Structure 1
Amino acid sequence: MKRFTLTILALAFSAGAQAAGDNVEMNLVTSQSVGQSIGSIKISETDKGLEFAPDLKALPPGEHGFHIHANGSCQPAIKEGKASAAEAAGGHFDPEKTGKHEGPDGKGHLGDLPALIVDKDGKATTPVYAPRLKKFADIEGKALMIHVGGDNMSDHPKPLGGGGARYACGVIK
């Protein structure tokens, strides 16, 4: 009986010692609804910061803006009098209220992630790292967003890196 109890305690301890993380389901978004799943992104704590490992399909090839947004919703909402895709996610995660988009290594939004790269077949599988984000708990309850266009990691010539419309979204649980 003692061995059984010790084994159970050891298993419980090792399960609790694992790094926190989540597998976030990503869905296409429109100004009318949250659509079909295009895959998932696994988030893990690493010594390089949080790792975002995509397993996505059906995306336009090229570079896409990739960010954590402030609210844990992918629902459409009204912006400037019009329905807008995933607008309920709010703006980029910016707990320090910097108001700046400077990329994952800058001193701006904490939600700025490296660009997501999609291959010619519409798949994204290359992990990216957020060096300023160390703990999964810091982003729980937020939204993960993929934008239509790329990201120049600046607010010029267009705000928020110029990524444009919201294309796919998932809630970090």
Structure 2
Amino acid sequence: MGKNQFRFFLALVFLFLIMAGCHKENPTKLDVILVDSENKSIGKIQLQEQASGVKLTLDLKGLPPGVHGLHIHDKGDCNPPQFKSAGQHLNPGKQKHGLLHPKGAHTGDLPNIIVGEDGKVKGEIMAAKATLLEGRNSLFTKDGTTIVITDEKDDGMTQPDGDSGERIACGRISKDKK
């Protein structure tokens, strides 16, 4: 290896080390712990980046039986009992609310969940517009994001929240392990 090639090699190594130190990688898989209005854990939702969006794998208990709304909200704060601190549905594209709305949906609009008589729900759903990577629809925003469950089902059309009732559970989406 010649003197100039060696210098070029050292410059590349140095540049790589600088870039590696400055770049904070977004996780492509993480767990979100949800709490109820009494701040007690009701389980977790695992988020995983997919080619078609973010897959949510639900493993929850202690919920009222029936159909409930599930949304991603635009603030990274879950203060019980009403979880108003979670903000509104994540909507960076300024769309109308609702998976059924012709001018929707928000990035944070998700399918309803069905909780069994035992208060449990397990399953998978997709957040097709969301990503764990950088970009407009990233779940890692400067204000943070949350996952919220409501006491009623989302009708998929009513503005701004699908007439889905009160917030009954919340979980903070975060790169941190806290």
Q: Normalising TM by the smaller chain, what interval? A: 0.7 to 0.9
Q: Give the Cα–Cα distance (whole angstroms) in 1 for the partners of residues 118 and 79 of structure 2.
A: 28
Q: CA deviation at 1:108?
A: 2.8
Tell me the residue number matched to 2:86. Answer: 89
Q: Which residue of 1 aligns with 2:170?
A: 169
- Pair 1:145–1:104, CA change in 2 (3 A): farther
Please state if 1:155 is matched with 2:158: yes
The counterpart of 2:122, out of the listed 121, 125, 140, is 125
Paired position in structure 2 for 1:115: 112
Q: 1:104 Cα deviation (Å)?
A: 8.1
Answer yes or no: is the 8 Å Cα contact 2:69–2:113 preserved in 1.
Answer: yes
Which secondary structure does the structure 1 equivalent of 2:162 belong to?
helix
Q: Are the aligned partners of 1:73 and 1:142 in contact in 2 as well (CA < 8 Å)?
A: yes
In structure 1, stretches of 5+ residues that fail to align are 1-16, 77-83
* Aligned residue runs from structure 1 range 61-80, under 5 A: 61-76=65-80
Query: Cα distance, 1:130 vs. partner?
Result: 1.4
Residues 1:103 and 2:99 are matched in the alignment: yes
1:43 counterpart residue number? 47
From the CA coordinates, give the structure whose radius of gyration is larger: 2
| Matched-pair contact (CA < 8 Å) for 1:74–1:171 | yes
1:79-101, Cα deviation, whole Å (9 max, x unpaired): xxxxx711111111111223x21
* Distance (whole Å) between structure 2 residues aligned to residue 89 and residue 153 of structure 1: 20
Q: Are the structure 2 counterparts of residues 49 and 130 from structure 1 closer, same or farther at C-alpha, using a change threshold of 3 Å?
A: same
The structure 1 residue matched to 2:145, chosen from 142, 145, 157, is: 142
Corresponding residue pairs, total: 144
RMSD (Å) for aligned C-alpha atoms = 2.5
Q: What does residue 22 of structure 1 align with?
A: 30
